[in-house]
């Protein structure tokens, strides 16, 4: 099969290679998927670049966790009725797995594979894995959100955009922070009722005005450490914080009593460590949303052939994209 791989971490142009590899065979409880689209996430480029401490433990790595395609082979213990099914997948190059979706085929445990509704394209399906599942868990892990007020920071980012769409679908009143006018339009497109440009506006004042002094029921944050200075000021009693990243401050120091007085729950998480029940809730919840909201936007930043995977990784690293970068398993 045709694939891209790296044998050491570093800049994409220095380490990513393209060539032929042996086509894998499905093992017990696995399915083999003919990849039609591979999604490139920030986590993928961090693994490849060496920024992530757990990214390189193998002699050869095929990058990219997310993808979509068609099941063409099943291993022992898996029904042959699945052959031919359109699917989306996640955790390709994760959890001790070296081989991701930047290839013509992947073999993966069936629990990381979900049927792709017919109205969703393979390219769109490849955007769902890490961003969509992280967003779903962030929004719904603490229960229904109908009539809740939720602040989502980074509302135009890959996770933030899906979190905004899902929270709006769930009946929440959604407020987002963004860093510019174009991103504000994207957050509103996803379903936000209002947006805050945190570079020009005071977040606490805007939230206070929006909630009439009551604060928000939930905060979904892309940067726990960066948002920490104003966090307790915008939270109401018995509220929840869901945090899936903290890039600006890896070891944040918080005022314990300010959280305790309001009985604010803090839920940091990473998708890889969620128990199977929570992952299944997110997988099937995403599909319910796709079916219930067939016209919901699933943004694609740009598509590249596999032969141009270096440019795909570089675009993700540039942080100027909107949506998920897609790699298709073709040479040109």
- Per the CB < 8 A criterion, the answer to whether 115 and 85 are in contact is yes
- Asked whether residue 98 falls in the same domain as residue 13, the answer is yes
Query: Hey, how many other C-beta atoms are within 10 angstroms of the C-beta on 23?
Result: 15
Domain annotation covers residue 289:
no
Number of folded domains in the chain?
2
List the structure tokens of 237: 């009693």
- Asked whether residue 152 falls in the same domain as residue 262, the answer is yes
What DSSP string runs through 139-200? HHTTS--TT-EEEEETTTSHHHHHHHHHHHHTT-EEEEEESSHHHHHHHHHHT-SEEEETTT
Tens digit of each residue's pLDDT (9 = 90 or more) over 162-193:
999 999 999 999 999 999 999 999 999 999 99
Report, as ranges of residue numbers, the positions in the chain whose pLDDT lies below 70. 53-56, 331-332
Domain harbouring 188, CATH code: 3.90.180.10
Domain annotation covers residue 283:
no
pTM for the structure as a whole: 0.94
User: Which domain covers residue 229, as residue numbers?
Assistant: 131-272
Domain annotation covers residue 290:
no
- Asked whether residue 201 falls in the same domain as residue 224, the answer is yes
Cα–Cα dist 236/110, whole Å: 41
Cα–Cα dist 156/36, whole Å: 26
Tens digit of each residue's pLDDT (9 = 90 or more) over 108-155:
999 999 999 999 999 999 999 999 999 999 999 999 999 999 999 999
List the structure tokens of 309: 């995977």
Domain annotation covers residue 235:
yes
Domain annotation covers residue 287:
no
The pLDDT assigned to 322 comes to 85
Cα–Cα dist 100/40, whole Å: 10
Cα–Cα dist 22/277, whole Å: 34
Cα–Cα dist 151/216, whole Å: 7
């Amino acid at each position: 099969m045709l694939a891209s791989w790296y044998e050491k971490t570093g800049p994409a142009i220095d380490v990513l290679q393209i060539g032929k590899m042996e086509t894998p065979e499905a093992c017990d409880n696995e399915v083999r998927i003919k990849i039609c689209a591979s999604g490139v996430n920030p986590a993928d480029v961090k693994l490849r670049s060496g920024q992530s401490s757990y990214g390189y433990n193998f002699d050869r790595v095929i990058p990219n966790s997310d993808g979509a395609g068609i099941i063409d082979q099943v291993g022992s213990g898996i029904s042959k009725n699945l052959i031919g099914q359109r699917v989306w997948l996640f955790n390709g190059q994760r959890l001790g797995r070296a081989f991701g979706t930047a290839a013509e085929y992947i073999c993966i445990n069936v629990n990381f594979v979900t049927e792709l509704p017919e109205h969703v394209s393979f390219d769109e399906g490849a955007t769902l894995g890490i961003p969509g599942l992280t967003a779903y868990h962030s929004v719904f892990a603490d229960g229904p959100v109908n009539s809740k007020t939720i602040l989502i920071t980074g509302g135009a980012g890959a996770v933030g955009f899906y979190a905004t769409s899902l929270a709006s679908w769930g009946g929440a009143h959604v407020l987002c922070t963004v860093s510019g006018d174009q991103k504000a339009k994207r957050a509103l497109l996803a379903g936000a009722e209002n947006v805050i440009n945190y570079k020009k506006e005071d977040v606490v004042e805007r939230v206070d005005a929006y909630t009439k002094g009551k604060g928000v029921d939930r905060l979904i944050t892309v940067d726990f450490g960066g948002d920490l200075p104003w966090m307790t000021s915008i939270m109401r009693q018995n509220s929840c914080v869901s945090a899936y990243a903290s890039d600006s401050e890896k070891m944040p120091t918080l005022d314990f009593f300010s959280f305790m007085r309001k009985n604010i729950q803090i839920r940091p998480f990473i998708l890889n460590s969620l128990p199977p029940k929570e992952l299944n809730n997110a997988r099937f919840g995403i599909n319910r949303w796709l079916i219930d909201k067939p016209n919901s936007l699933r943004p694609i930043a740009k598509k590249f052939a596999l032969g141009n995977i270096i440019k795909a990784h570089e675009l993700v690293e540039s942080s100027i994209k909107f949506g998920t970068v897609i790699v298709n398993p073709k040479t040109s």
